[in-house]
Amino acid sequence: MSDRRSIVLGVLACVPVALSALAAGGMAIAGEQRVLAIEVALPGTVLIIGALVSLVAGALLFGRAAGARSRRRAAAAADAAGREAALHERARHQRFLARLDHELKNPLTAIRATAVAAPDGAESPAWRTVDAQAAKLSTLVRDLRKLADLEARPLDLELVNLEQVIAEAVADLRQRDPGAGARIDFTVTRVPWAVPPLAADVDLLSLAIDNVLGNAAKYSTAGPIEVRLREQDGWAVMDVADAGRGIPAGEVSQVFDELARAHNARDVTGSGIGLTLVATVIRQHGGDVSLRSVEGSGTLVTLRLPIRR
């Protein structure tokens, strides 16, 4: 429809030129020799030329500005639609996880109770396997529900000393796992300036840091674990580096996906939710998470939090 309208307007625009060309041709054939002379004073001519140039330039600028405004409005509308779609998808995902938790909780409890109550259940390898796998599935469903709850939970912000939060997480790991704790080295850069207090939900932040430290301890049975904190360009930056088994190059891009686990980590207990949870918490605080890893050499996880939100 718009193409047809453009063609019609183009034809109409050509009509005056065509009529004037026909009239001029008829006059020439008839031998019309009269000359039309218009006398205009030089100042007036300059003024008219300037007005015409300004008119053309103004029309061009107006058209360009109108086009830019139209593009900005279209981009803003597309951005708003994208955000609304993302929020809708996140809400749908949370509802699904809540239903999954509700539907699986009772059957899994019944399976575990049956395994325990079965004759020779404690001594039977088959029943022990059933109970262990049901427990693993229960943990997985619980962690998925926890992740959905985290995404919907509002932050309870307060001024937090990040160095103290990390120190407490390190101390807690040393208590739970003395072997891994003995390999941890926590360093803080305070010169020329230290990391100032920042607004954060201390419970969620502690949960994320515990997960990162736990992964470093779990996937590195030997070698140092280095935890570093510094301020950089208005961000609080925390690095957790280990000399563990690392992640295969083809799987590094998937580590923050739900349930993602590298094929060389199948022998270690886990649900594949930990790094997804970490990324969710840090994003809620306006920060970001990155990971670098080399299989057989180790892994570096970097958390960045804005000092001023």
Q: What is the pLDDT of residues 5-64, one digit of tens each?
A: 556 555 555 555 566 666 666 766 777 666 655 565 656 555 666 666 667 666 776 677
Give residue 279's domain range: 158-306
Q: Do 138 and 176 share a domain, yes or no? A: no
Residue 39 lies in a domain: yes
Residue 186 lies in a domain: yes
Residue 232 lies in a domain: yes
Q: Do 201 and 274 share a domain, yes or no? A: yes
Number of structural domains found in the chain: 3
Q: Do 163 and 110 share a domain, yes or no? A: no
Q: Do 232 and 259 share a domain, yes or no? A: yes
Domain CATH code at residue 239: 3.30.565.10
Q: Do 170 and 290 share a domain, yes or no? A: yes
Residues found in the chain: 309
pLDDT at 83 over 70: yes
Question: How many CB atoms are closer than 10 A to CB 51?
Answer: 10
Q: Do 162 and 302 share a domain, yes or no? A: yes
pLDDT of residue 290: 94
Residue 189 lies in a domain: yes
Q: Do 116 and 185 share a domain, yes or no? A: no
- Residue 202 contacts residue 158 (beta carbons within 8 Å): yes
Q: Do 41 and 120 share a domain, yes or no? A: no
Q: Do 248 and 146 share a domain, yes or no? A: no
SS (H, E, C) 185-199: EEEECCCCCCCCCEE
Residue 261 lies in a domain: yes
Q: Do 148 and 171 share a domain, yes or no? A: no
Residue 217 lies in a domain: yes
Q: Do 39 and 109 share a domain, yes or no? A: no
Among 54, 80, 106, the domain-final residue is 80
Give pTM, 2 decimals: 0.61
Q: Do 143 and 164 share a domain, yes or no? A: no
Torsion (CA) 117, 119, 120, 125 in degrees, nearest 10: -80
Among 16, 50, 80, the domain-final residue is 80
Of 94-98, 99-103, 259-263, 299-303, which has the strongest mean pLDDT?
Answer: 299-303
Q: What is the pLDDT of residues 264-280, one digit of tens each?
A: 666 666 667 788 889 98
Phi, psi at 184, each rounded to 5°:
-85, 135
Question: How many CB atoms are closer than 10 A to CB 12?
Answer: 9
Among 53, 80, 107, the domain-final residue is 80
Q: What is the pLDDT of residues 217-268, one digit of tens each?
A: 888 888 899 999 999 999 999 999 999 888 888 888 887 776 667 766 666 6
pLDDT of residue 170: 94
Phi, psi at 195, each rounded to 5°:
-75, 120
